[in-house]
Amino acid sequence: MADLQDLPDLPDAPSPAIPGLQFACTIHALVDPPLSAGPGVNGERRHIVITGGLLRGPLINGSILPGGSDWLWQRPDGTAEIHAHYSVRLSDGTPIYLRNLGLRHAEPAVLARLRAGEPVDPAEYSFRTAPVFDAPDGPHAWLRNRTFVGSARPGQGFVRIAVYLVT
Protein backbone atom coordinates (compact mmCIF):
# COMPACT_ATOMS: atom_id res chain seq x y z
CA MET A 1 0.00 0.00 0.00
CA ALA A 2 1.41 3.39 -0.98
CA ASP A 3 1.95 6.15 1.53
CA LEU A 4 0.05 9.37 0.93
CA GLN A 5 3.34 11.14 0.29
CA ASP A 6 3.97 8.74 -2.61
CA LEU A 7 0.80 9.74 -4.44
CA PRO A 8 1.26 11.92 -7.48
CA ASP A 9 0.21 15.54 -7.28
CA LEU A 10 -3.40 15.94 -8.20
CA PRO A 11 -4.17 18.47 -10.90
CA ASP A 12 -6.08 21.53 -9.84
CA ALA A 13 -9.71 20.60 -10.18
CA PRO A 14 -12.89 21.96 -8.72
CA SER A 15 -13.96 20.45 -5.43
CA PRO A 16 -17.13 18.35 -5.35
CA ALA A 17 -20.29 20.22 -4.45
CA ILE A 18 -21.09 20.61 -0.79
CA PRO A 19 -24.42 18.84 -0.18
CA GLY A 20 -27.36 20.75 1.16
CA LEU A 21 -30.64 19.65 2.68
CA GLN A 22 -34.19 20.49 1.57
CA PHE A 23 -37.08 19.48 3.82
CA ALA A 24 -39.17 16.88 1.95
CA CYS A 25 -41.72 15.57 4.47
CA THR A 26 -42.37 14.23 7.92
CA ILE A 27 -43.10 10.52 8.26
CA HIS A 28 -45.41 9.78 11.16
CA ALA A 29 -45.49 5.97 11.34
CA LEU A 30 -47.80 4.17 13.75
CA VAL A 31 -46.27 1.02 15.22
CA ASP A 32 -47.22 -1.90 17.45
CA PRO A 33 -45.11 -2.72 20.51
CA PRO A 34 -41.94 -4.62 19.54
CA LEU A 35 -41.90 -8.40 19.48
CA SER A 36 -38.70 -10.03 20.69
CA ALA A 37 -37.42 -13.54 21.28
CA GLY A 38 -34.89 -12.08 23.73
CA PRO A 39 -31.17 -11.41 23.57
CA GLY A 40 -28.80 -13.57 21.55
CA VAL A 41 -25.07 -13.76 21.12
CA ASN A 42 -25.06 -10.82 18.68
CA GLY A 43 -27.78 -8.76 20.34
CA GLU A 44 -31.56 -8.74 20.15
CA ARG A 45 -33.68 -8.85 16.99
CA ARG A 46 -36.92 -6.94 17.48
CA HIS A 47 -39.85 -7.07 15.05
CA ILE A 48 -41.89 -3.86 15.00
CA VAL A 49 -45.08 -3.98 12.91
CA ILE A 50 -45.95 -0.75 11.11
CA THR A 51 -49.73 -0.32 11.27
CA GLY A 52 -50.23 2.91 9.28
CA GLY A 53 -49.36 6.57 9.28
CA LEU A 54 -48.82 9.64 7.13
CA LEU A 55 -46.18 11.41 5.06
CA ARG A 56 -46.73 15.18 4.98
CA GLY A 57 -44.54 17.87 3.50
CA PRO A 58 -43.78 20.21 0.64
CA LEU A 59 -42.37 17.44 -1.62
CA ILE A 60 -44.09 14.19 -0.56
CA ASN A 61 -47.60 13.49 0.75
CA GLY A 62 -49.34 10.19 1.30
CA SER A 63 -50.41 7.44 3.65
CA ILE A 64 -48.48 4.52 5.11
CA LEU A 65 -50.43 1.34 4.54
CA PRO A 66 -50.71 -1.30 7.28
CA GLY A 67 -48.41 -4.29 6.98
CA GLY A 68 -44.92 -2.82 6.98
CA SER A 69 -42.24 -3.89 9.42
CA ASP A 70 -39.02 -2.79 11.06
CA TRP A 71 -36.68 -5.69 11.79
CA LEU A 72 -34.55 -3.76 14.30
CA TRP A 73 -31.32 -5.33 15.49
CA GLN A 74 -30.33 -4.06 18.94
CA ARG A 75 -26.58 -4.57 19.12
CA PRO A 76 -24.83 -5.11 22.46
CA ASP A 77 -22.93 -1.80 22.01
CA GLY A 78 -26.14 0.25 22.40
CA THR A 79 -26.66 0.82 18.67
CA ALA A 80 -29.84 -0.32 16.97
CA GLU A 81 -29.78 -1.05 13.24
CA ILE A 82 -33.07 -0.02 11.66
CA HIS A 83 -34.40 -2.13 8.75
CA ALA A 84 -37.87 -0.68 8.09
CA HIS A 85 -40.00 -1.45 5.04
CA TYR A 86 -43.19 0.48 4.28
CA SER A 87 -45.91 0.42 1.65
CA VAL A 88 -46.95 3.99 0.88
CA ARG A 89 -49.83 5.35 -1.17
CA LEU A 90 -49.08 8.88 -2.33
CA SER A 91 -51.87 11.46 -2.30
CA ASP A 92 -52.59 10.83 -6.01
CA GLY A 93 -52.94 7.07 -5.38
CA THR A 94 -49.47 6.04 -6.62
CA PRO A 95 -48.07 3.06 -4.67
CA ILE A 96 -44.50 3.43 -3.42
CA TYR A 97 -42.19 1.00 -1.64
CA LEU A 98 -40.12 2.77 1.01
CA ARG A 99 -37.07 1.14 2.58
CA ASN A 100 -35.66 3.06 5.51
CA LEU A 101 -32.34 1.93 6.95
CA GLY A 102 -30.70 3.70 9.85
CA LEU A 103 -28.88 3.72 13.15
CA ARG A 104 -30.04 4.72 16.61
CA HIS A 105 -27.41 4.97 19.32
CA ALA A 106 -28.02 5.64 22.99
CA GLU A 107 -26.12 5.02 26.17
CA PRO A 108 -27.66 2.21 28.30
CA ALA A 109 -29.51 4.53 30.72
CA VAL A 110 -30.96 6.56 27.84
CA LEU A 111 -31.94 3.40 25.95
CA ALA A 112 -33.76 2.14 29.07
CA ARG A 113 -35.73 5.41 29.24
CA LEU A 114 -36.57 5.22 25.51
CA ARG A 115 -37.79 1.63 25.91
CA ALA A 116 -39.88 2.62 28.93
CA GLY A 117 -41.61 5.28 26.84
CA GLU A 118 -40.25 8.12 28.95
CA PRO A 119 -39.64 11.49 27.29
CA VAL A 120 -36.02 11.75 26.19
CA ASP A 121 -34.40 14.85 24.71
CA PRO A 122 -33.22 14.03 21.15
CA ALA A 123 -29.84 15.56 22.08
CA GLU A 124 -29.30 12.52 24.35
CA TYR A 125 -29.23 10.02 21.48
CA SER A 126 -28.58 9.79 17.75
CA PHE A 127 -31.30 8.43 15.45
CA ARG A 128 -30.68 8.93 11.71
CA THR A 129 -32.07 7.11 8.69
CA ALA A 130 -31.58 6.91 4.91
CA PRO A 131 -34.98 6.50 3.22
CA VAL A 132 -34.96 5.00 -0.29
CA PHE A 133 -38.10 5.34 -2.41
CA ASP A 134 -39.02 2.82 -5.12
CA ALA A 135 -41.44 4.71 -7.35
CA PRO A 136 -42.89 3.73 -10.75
CA ASP A 137 -42.26 5.65 -13.94
CA GLY A 138 -44.24 8.86 -14.13
CA PRO A 139 -44.44 12.00 -12.03
CA HIS A 140 -42.86 10.42 -8.94
CA ALA A 141 -39.92 8.72 -10.69
CA TRP A 142 -37.62 11.46 -9.37
CA LEU A 143 -37.97 9.94 -5.87
CA ARG A 144 -35.99 6.85 -6.87
CA ASN A 145 -33.11 8.94 -8.26
CA ARG A 146 -32.41 11.09 -5.24
CA THR A 147 -30.73 10.68 -1.87
CA PHE A 148 -32.68 11.34 1.32
CA VAL A 149 -31.69 11.44 4.99
CA GLY A 150 -33.92 11.42 8.03
CA SER A 151 -33.75 12.48 11.64
CA ALA A 152 -36.01 10.30 13.77
CA ARG A 153 -37.67 10.45 17.15
CA PRO A 154 -39.50 7.48 18.69
CA GLY A 155 -42.63 7.72 20.80
CA GLN A 156 -45.16 5.40 22.41
CA GLY A 157 -46.84 3.71 19.43
CA PHE A 158 -45.20 5.84 16.76
CA VAL A 159 -41.96 7.08 15.22
CA ARG A 160 -41.63 10.52 13.65
CA ILE A 161 -38.98 11.09 10.96
CA ALA A 162 -38.13 14.43 9.39
CA VAL A 163 -37.00 13.55 5.85
CA TYR A 164 -34.66 15.77 3.84
CA LEU A 165 -33.71 15.66 0.17
CA VAL A 166 -29.94 15.90 -0.20
CA THR A 167 -29.30 18.60 -2.80
Nearest one of 92, 95, 82 to 50, comparing CA atoms = 82
CB count within 10 Å of CB 15 equals 5
pLDDT band at 74 (very low <50, low <70, confident <90, very high): very high
pTM of the model: 0.89
pLDDT digits (tens, 9 = 90+) for 134-163: 999 999 999 999 999 999 999 989 999 999
CB count within 10 Å of CB 126 equals 14
pLDDT value of residue 19? 96
The C-alpha atoms of residue 14 and residue 12 are separated, in whole angstroms, by 7
Provide the residue type at 149 as one letter: V
Contact 33, 154 (CB under 8 A): no
Collapsing DSSP to helix, strand or coil, 10 comes out as coil
pLDDT digits (tens, 9 = 90+) for 80-139: 999 999 999 999 999 999 999 999 999 989 989 988 888 899 999 999 999 999 999 999
63: β partners: 54, 89
pLDDT digits (tens, 9 = 90+) for 56-72: 999 999 999 999 999 99
pLDDT digits (tens, 9 = 90+) for 1-41: 557 666 666 677 788 999 999 999 999 999 999 999 889 88
